[in-house]
Amino acid sequence: MKKIVLVVLLFFAGYTAQSQILISLLFGEKLNSEKIDFGLEGGTNFSKISGMDSKRYMPDWNIGFYFVIQMKKSWYLNTGVLVKAKTGTGYLTKNDLNFLDLKFPDTCTVDNGNYHQKINSFMVPLMMRYMFKNRFYLEGGVQGSLRYNAWVEYTSKSDFFDVKLKKYNKESTNPIDVGALAGAGYRFKGRTGMTIGMKYYYGFANIYKGVDGTKNSAFFLKLNIPIGAGEKAQKKRAEKAAKKRAKQQM
């Protein structure tokens, strides 16, 4: 029952996330408040899957939105959704290709190009954050991911032409990944400024169906940009609050 609930929640979050990013750009000012910070999160990540012959990380980028909710004086809840995020593993070897049982043209060799396993997922972090007085913070918690596509990609470049081929292997990967997440960062200019940080993720579930020891891990470098939390937005909210109080006193 718990797995079914998790699938439903992740699916709903992922399905609505893209439209919510557009909504956030329009209504970010209303979503931010004295206790809640809201905005866009983006950055780059480096991931790999354990148990593979290749030990090299695959670089990619991600984007989504975040909520940071103040619980107590220095404690915050950090959540949101990464809408566009790819993890996987980079620079697959011949042994990895044999393990994945994917056939590419004979000319597409590991000597002539690069193979990457890429997995597209919606990622939902849930972390507790402790903010120090100097605006540095530490955070930790869990992250759930819902896979919506997966493929092995071959790329090759030469002086005459570039080659990119994809073989999809979504059905051989597990749809859900859950793991631990920890990070650190720094927030500029109090609660209205941008935040830079890094996170490390280690998955508990196997990426490939029926294959033990194929866990996902990734480093994330991120930039959080608050929407509607600047001085003008705060002044506007204060004016609205003052008008509301004035009407109530009439």
Q: Under a CB-based contact definition with an 8 Å cutoff, are residues 65 and 41 in contact?
A: yes
Domain boundaries, the chain: 2-249
- What's the angle, vertex CA 144, arms to CA 139 and CA 146, rounded to 5? 145
Most confident of the ranges 1-5, 28-32, 64-68, 178-182: 178-182
**pLDDT tens digits for range 28-81:** 555 666 788 889 999 999 999 999 999 999 999 999 999 999 998 899 999 999
**What residue type is 193 in one-letter code?**
G
How far apart are alpha carbons 67 and 49 in whole angstroms?
A: 29
| CATH, domain 2-249, list 3.40.50.720, 3.30.70.870, 2.40.160.20, 2.40.160.60 | 2.40.160.20
**pLDDT tens digits for range 85-101:** 999 999 999 999 999 99
How far apart are alpha carbons 201 and 182 in whole angstroms?
A: 7
